[in-house]
Structure 1
């Protein structure tokens, strides 16, 4: 397998495993996960700050996504003593590594998906 297939190659080599892609799409396929990771790419953030950075997400959905991303090992949660007690979320090394393919996906979408996609 080549290290960096050319995007114009009519016969790019297939991904290493379908199982790995299935896991990746299961994570990214859930609404908000990618946007929460992008928000945390700017640095550690509290719950309220994340809610402001991801417009349209409800408190419950954000809480669910943060738990899921933590269970996947992509973020950590640190509780800071209060009062008031505050939680801070931050990307792990695995989460920071995930920003590379996420950036590639964003670039691809800018170049190849119209802004008014049939998927919306």
Structure 2
């Protein structure tokens, strides 16, 4: 993966194994740069082309090369975000309850 040099955080893997962490990192970065509106629904949120391009470049840099190739036709950061959410967001339903369960049992083991 040639795009992994000097990344702000770990790139999204093809398997989506690090999706939950990746989403959190991207959202925090976009909030810090005041670009969050580019991935949200456009309800009276006029976003300039420069901001969209900046976010598109950022997201493309932080996904695996195979995902870049797969979503090559996406030109809007909102459309790319929705496509990635549709593909990987089911992990919240699968992994979060399991992790909460493991954490609760781990806390009881400490005592």
> Quick check: TM above 0.5?
no
Q: Which has the higher contact order (CA 8 A, sep 6+)?
A: 2
Q: Which has the higher helix share?
A: 2
TM-score, normalised with respect to structure 1: 0.31
Q: Which has the higher strand share?
A: 1
TM-score, normalised with respect to structure 2: 0.32
